[in-house]
Chains A and B, each alone.
Chain A
């Protein structure tokens, strides 16, 4: 069994957050299906997607929770921050209001995730250069001030979408390697593939210890 949804050694949990209509679900769709979803409906509660990627020779399954941007789902959204290893914070480069709200999203993310959560700022809709409302430079500066990774991407053309998800994973993996992220902590958002009877185990992985119920 070389391919398929169950060949991986680690699970990384991501959340995607940001204002309504910035393209969170489209980014997820582009990343998991490699397609642009033109008439994407509003997300009700949460959406979920997975994809297996490879970082430093390790197969990693990304479990991505895509949250609703609408205010009425804020309580639902907030409940998914905990236990996320990566947070993709998205704004729309053609709408300044979505950029202005970043600090409130960021403070939510900082308060509700663990200190090691990698936060990646994404300026979406980079294909709409003519309608640009937020410059690359100011967003870059905002990211630097807040120690965020930053990229401009387009869910429509697929530009930089892979990079955003992969860079986040690399950073998380690096945190594991240098010991700043504890795999066994309940809310690290990272875990080994569950070892269970009847489950297949991929080859050449460091033998994972069975996860307890994290009491």
Chain B
């Protein structure tokens, strides 16, 4: 969907500009005329006061030789009369139609900015971006911060690469497209902020605009935020360079939607050396989507993955993760998981497992995850103290979070759980707190008691 193109070149499809003023309205005691600008199938609304029409006209007279009397005349008294406003609306509409007709071949910049082209149209939008980056591009890159862009900007750049340069940008060094491409080529971390609603006062929907990211030569971290992942036309170069990929609030039902976003066929064969594999990806964050399961084909596409976040989805079980041999961190918080039978057979050697806000009633399947260092099961439905015992026996566990479970209301809950850790009680952080000396003393007494009880029973 190309927007308006200024070029007189016949090779480029030039879409017709049409304007009308459907109505006028009051805004802070002033009358504003609502202009509807249509370019091809896209339209948007611009509000302008009479004063701005007058300013525009003065410039057009000065710079483009328009006749002075073309604009409906000023009126000082009685200009709030509804009949007058209606007449003026219709006169101004005729005026705008005339100037567009006269100057259609190459709309002057004054007209473009009057119609707010810089918000909607490829050339103007890219020029505005270039001028901004000319000033602050270097600072932004050197700060190393994540750069946010919307799909319209990305779409405009994608289009612009395929379009001839306009005479305007050849004359104004600030607006040179090179500033944009140079900037994009140096971005390491990009966030694409999408929107499903109409953009500003237009019929454009950002999430419907396709784009590619081939101009981003240094990209390592990419985040879709509420954007449409299938807008990305080609992810070819990203598959060998990207280290972090995130997609939040994108309505994903499957991991494949993002991993093969640029292929029509989502039903991939499960194979290890797929051309769709993301070879350098170590972190995948697909939180806040609607996934109900992890597809085995998707897992094969991320062989080096160390961190996987699937929190805030609709998963009911942990399946198909066993081939992620490098996985260290797994976040499954805020899902619908009830049970985790023999988790060690389904997961590799993870160090951090977050299962907060699920529906777990016990921790029975976790007893053999020997590499586990951090376990967060807060706000589940664990009521039985004994179910914690196998977890407490894990040799590397250092952090255990149980807050928000019914079991925490048990009398002397902390000392009882700490006692389960035996000699390691002092190394453990339970519910984000290391054991206090008083607790450790109690634990020591309890341990001594149970030891002597054992000895007695042996005798």
Identify the A interface with B (CB < 8 A). 1, 4-6, 13, 41, 44-46, 48-50, 63, 65, 72-76, 78-80, 82-83, 186-187, 191, 194, 196-200, 211, 213-215
Contact = CB atoms under 8 A, between A and B. Distances in A.
Nearest to B135: A196
B9 A5 contact: no
Interface stretch (B41-49, B82-90, B160-168, B362-370): B160-168
Contact of A198 (B139, B164, B186): B139
B140 to A, nearest CB: 10
Interface stretch (B177-185, B377-385, B404-412, B440-448): B177-185
Contact of A199 (B138, B162, B186, B236): B138
A76 B172 contact: no
Given A6-B142, A194-B173, A48 B185 contact: yes
B174 interface: yes
Given A63-B178, A82-B170, A214-B172, A75 B135 contact: no
Interface of B: 9, 11-12, 134-136, 138-139, 141-142, 161-166, 170-174, 178, 181-182, 185-186, 215, 217, 236
A5 B173 contact: no
B161 A44 contact: yes
Given A75-B164, A76-B163, A80-B165, A213 B138 contact: no
A78 to B, nearest CB: 7
A211 B12 CA distance: 32
Given A83-B170, A197-B135, A214-B171, A75 B12 contact: yes
A50 B174 contact: no
Contact of A213 (B161, B163, B172, B186): B172
A50 B185 contact: yes
Contacts of A63: 178, 182
Contacts of A211: 173
Nearest to B162: A45
Contact of A186 (B142, B164, B171): B171
Contact of A45 (B136, B142, B161): B161
A74 B215 CA distance: 21
A20 to B, nearest CB: 16
A198 B135 contact: yes
Contact of B174 (A6, A46, A72, A213): A213
B138 A75 contact: no
Nearest to B183: A5
24 contacts: A1-B142, A5-B182, A6-B138, A13-B178, A44-B162, A45-B161, A48-B181, A48-B185, A48-B215, A50-B185, A63-B182, A65-B178, A72-B11, A74-B11, A75-B11, A76-B163, A80-B165, A197-B135, A198-B136, A199-B138, A200-B138, A211-B173, A213-B173, A215-B171
Contact of A78 (B12, B164, B186, B236): B164
A41 B217 CA distance: 15
Contacts of A199: 138-139
Contact of A214 (B138, B162, B173): B173
Contacts of B170: 82-83, 186-187
Contacts of B172: 213-214
A211 B141 CA distance: 22
Contacts of B166: 79
B138 A49 contact: no
B184 to A, nearest CB: 9
Contacts of A215: 171
Contacts of B9: 75
Given A187-B170, A214-B173, A79 B165 contact: yes
B277 to A, nearest CB: 16
A73 B135 contact: no
Nearest to A29: B217
A215 B12 CA distance: 27
Nearest to A73: B162
Nearest to A200: B138
Contacts of B134: 194, 196
B178 A46 contact: no
A50 B141 CA distance: 15
A5 B164 contact: no
A79 B185 contact: no
B136 A5 contact: no
Given A75-B9, A198-B136, A199-B139, A45 B173 contact: no
Nearest to B218: A5
Nearest to A81: B165
B134 to A, nearest CB: 6
A13 B11 CA distance: 25
A46 B139 contact: no
Contacts of A4: 142
A48 B164 CA distance: 14
A75 B449 CA distance: 89
Give the 9 A-B CB pairs with smallest separation, nearest first.
A79-B164, A45-B162, A48-B181, A79-B165, A75-B11, A45-B161, A198-B139, A6-B138, A76-B164
Of listed A6, A49, A78, residue having the most chain B CB within 10 A: A6
A91 B163 CA distance: 24
B162 A76 contact: yes
Contacts of B182: 5, 48, 50, 63
A72 B236 CA distance: 24
A102 B367 CA distance: 73
Nearest to B217: A49
Contacts of B178: 13, 48, 63, 65
Contacts of B236: 41
A45 B160 CA distance: 8
B364 to A, nearest CB: 51
Contacts of B135: 196-198
A210 to B, nearest CB: 11
